[in-house]
Amino acid sequence: MEALSNQILVAVTFTFLAASVLYLCHWAFKSKVFGWAASGVTWAALGVLTLAIILRWVASHQMGIGHAPFSNLFESLVFFAWTIAAIYLIIELSTWMRTIGSFAVPLAFLSMLYALTLDPAIKPLLPALKSNWLIAHVITCFLGYAGFAVSAALGAMYLATGQAKDPASPRALVLDNLIYQTVVVGFILLTAGIVTGSIWANSAWGTYWSWDPKETWSLITWLVYASLLHSRFMRGWQGKRMAVFSLVGFGCVLFTYFGVNLLLSGLHSYATGK
């Protein structure tokens, strides 16, 4: 069952690639057919990905080392792709702006592609990782990260499609508002992720905060988005500035997620591929 799940994950990766290409075609040729095909393929990919994650969960229980599939870098990347696709599809359903898909769905593809380079074996959990707070921590963090990923995709789209030239146009206003909305969702979930992580650390080691590089970078990300929200609320920053800010913020998210593991060392060592 583990093997089946892994095969499905490979298939899903290339389904996301196909969906990305279809979204780009839809954007380039302004064709409705491509748009519907892109949405259909993305929905299918999300459905099958959900199945693969459930299969992986069941497989771990059959192996006698049952745990929720959110425990290492491989599993987090798969879940990251799932949340990006899910959040994007919700936005598509409420706005019908499929051009966003050209920016968001490739992120899901890249996340899956990175996962495929890692060891997919289901491994037993270290004693420190056996905690329901860990599951809550991973789920909230990655939902938050996905919110930021989609906001960055929207920011990139805002800049790439030249909305800054006419920031008062309805389309630019909708995009600007979506950037704000996704940042808010990401910010609340990142906060919840940091809090659940603290609760977990407190029950495992007796310290809710120890300034390890991963924790510190999550705080840096939090501070950057907190400044973004203050600049919007108090100074009325909009449009291009929001778009650029959302990209900078997502840069911090990416560093928190990958950069810390690759370049810095700390307590989160088990969140690496090894």
Partner 1 sequence: MSQDQPRKPMAERIWDFFASVKLSFFLLLLLAVLSIAGTLIPQKEGAAAYVRAYGEAGWRFISALGLNDLYHAPWFVLIMALLAANLVICSINRLSLTMRILGKDPVAEAGSMRKPKQSFTLPGEPASNLDKARQVLERLMGNSAQAKDGDRTVLFAQRGGWSRFGVYVVHTSVLVIMVGALVGNFWGYGGYVNIPVGSTVDHIILDNGQAKPLGFSLHLDKFNVAFYPNGMPSEYRSEVTFIDGGKPVQKSTLIVNDPAEYKGIDFYQSSYGNDLKAMEVELIRPDGAKQRLTLEAGKINELPGGAKAAIQGWRERVQMGAMYDGPVARILYQEAKGEPQAYTAFRPGVKMPQSGPMKFEIVKVQTEAYSGLQVKYDPGVWFIWVGCTLMVIGFFIAFYFSHRKVWLRLSPTGQGRTKLEIAGATNKNRQGLARLITRLSHELGGGPKKAE
Which residues contribute to the site for partner 1 (CB under 8 A)?
A: 64-65, 123-128, 130-131, 133, 177, 184, 187-188, 191-192, 195, 198-200, 202-209, 211, 213, 216-217, 219-220, 223-224, 226-227, 230-231, 233-235, 260, 264
d(CA 223, CA 143): 18
| Residue in the structure block whose two tokens are 């659940």 | 196
For the CB of residue 158, give the shortest distance to partner 1 in the complex, in Å.
17
Minimum CB distance to partner 1, residue 140 (Å): 10
Least distance (Å) between residue 44 CB and partner 1: 31
Amino acid at 18: A
DSSP state of 255: I
Of 159 and 195, CB closest to partner 1: 195
Whichever of 184 and 247 has its CB closer to partner 1, that residue is: 184
- Nearest residue (CB) to partner 1, 10 versus 229: 229
Instruction: Tell me whether residue 231 or residue 272 sits nearer to partner 1 (CB atom).
Output: 231
> Cβ(152)–Cβ(249) under 8 Å?
yes
User: Would you call 31 helix, strand, or coil by DSSP?
Assistant: coil
101 within 8 A of 147, measured Cβ to Cβ: no
Q: How far is the CB of 208 from partner 1 (least distance, A)?
A: 6
Q: Which is nearer to partner 1, 131 or 161 (CB)?
A: 131
Q: Give min distance, CB of 239 to partner 1, in A.
A: 15
DSSP 71: S
Closest CA to 145 of 81, 199, 95: 81
CB nearer to partner 1: give 29 or 211: 211
What six digits make up the tokens of 181? Answer: 């909305």
Half-sphere exposure of 242 (CA within 13 A, CB side): 32
Cβ 178 to partner 1, closest distance in Å? 11
Please say whether the beta carbons of 101 and 23 come within 8 A: yes
Q: Is the dihedral of CA 252, 254, 257, 260 positive or negative?
A: negative
Neighbour tally for 132: CB within 10 Å: 12
Q: 48 or 271: whose CB is closer to partner 1?
A: 271
We find the least distance from the C-beta atom of residue 164 to partner 1, in angstroms, to be 20
